[in-house]
Amino acid sequence: MNAEAKNVAVTCTHLIRDIDDYRQSFTDAGFTLVLPDVPGQELAGDELVAAMQGISGVVAGDDQFTSDVMAQLPDLKVISKWGIGLDGIDLPNAAERGITVTNTPGMFGNEVAEQGLGYLFALVRGIVDVDREVRAGGWPKPVGRSIGALTATVLGLGDIGRTLVTKLQALGVTVSGSDPSPEAAEWAAANNVPVGDAAELARDVDVVMITAPLNSATRGMVDADFIDGMRAGSWLINVGRGPIVVGSAVADAIERGHLAGAALDVFEVEPLADERLRHLPNLILGSHNASNTYEACHRTHVKAIENLVTNLTN
């Protein structure tokens, strides 16, 4: 496919923020760059359809490319996903329409794993709660836990999960993992990581950490039954995908003291709309921002643009 006269769009807000550093990459490939207005985190429905009119390729964020949307985009040939998760794209329908879909695995496993560790330290040492109380005039002395004394299970052993496991092991944490893929099982065996059923593993550990992708098997997996099966007084951390965890079940478990606390970087609906979650103690809230470091963003910008150019010019 010739790049000449091809209009391409960027809807990934991270790349839009840094676009002045990358305009030349699109020009050199012979593309005309279009920057739609993205008022929030993503585009969906009629807004996405309107933004993609006459567009041959897009570097996309978490935009919702459903079958209905793609049916109205006859010019679209390539969706270059900035990041890993493809749950917002109807992949079978894209294949039927001849739309090439790519993503950027391996770009920010380290950064998301670091965020998971940050949440772990903050939870088990009460860092956020202490900060709030000191600002209010208090001087609390909560009893925390030593990181090296903890047990944890990591749900999802892709690039992020494997990196997180390695970091946890370096800190002395006893780690298990859950992932159905043969590649994950092979890696786990080579790295002395016991693997098994997620719910069963969660019964016997201090911390459950989620790094899994969103798919039909993981959507809603961490529900009330799953959380009830977790060890009383344990912690839950989600740096995977929001709809994996049922937020109301987390709230219930924290309110009755079954969970000692939780850290949620992602949510079922984003931005966070659940007012109940906003006001719970022992709950740290993120903004789906674990991958957002200078270094990770720029390496991902390069790869996402490269994927777009390669697939629109070949």
Other beta carbons within 10 angstroms of residue 138's beta carbon come to 10
pLDDT tens-digit readout, 269-313? 999 999 999 999 999 999 999 999 999 999 999 999 999 999 999
As a whole number of Å, the end-to-end CA separation of the chain is 5
Q: What is the CATH number of the domain that holds 46?
A: 3.40.50.720
Domain boundaries, position 70: 6-104+294-313
pLDDT tens-digit readout, 255-268? 999 999 999 999 99
Q: Evaluate whether residue 10 is within a structural domain.
A: yes
Q: What is the mean pLDDT of residues 137-163?
A: 97
**185 and 65 in a common domain:** no
From CA 70, how far away is CA 74, in angstroms rounded? 7
- Provide the domain count of the chain: 2
| CB hemisphere CA count around 213 (13 angstroms) | 16
Tokens (6 digits) for 56: 């041959």
CA distances from 72 to 33, 102, 164, 200 (A): 20, 20, 41, 45
- At residue 241's C-alpha, the angle toward residues 270 and 18, to 5°, is 65
**278 and 298 in a common domain:** no
Pairing state between β 100-102 and 78-81: parallel
**144 and 61 in a common domain:** no
Which residues are designated catalytic? 241, 270, 288
pLDDT tens-digit readout, 216-267? 999 999 999 999 999 999 999 999 999 999 999 999 999 999 999 999 999 9
Q: Evaluate whether residue 1 is within a structural domain.
A: no
**157 and 65 in a common domain:** no
Mean per-residue pLDDT over the chain, rounded: 96
**277 and 147 in a common domain:** yes
**137 and 91 in a common domain:** no
At residue 5, the pLDDT reads 59
**97 and 114 in a common domain:** no
pLDDT at 4 over 70: no
Helix (H, G, I), strand (E, B) or coil at 134: helix
**137 and 36 in a common domain:** no
**307 and 250 in a common domain:** no
**139 and 67 in a common domain:** no
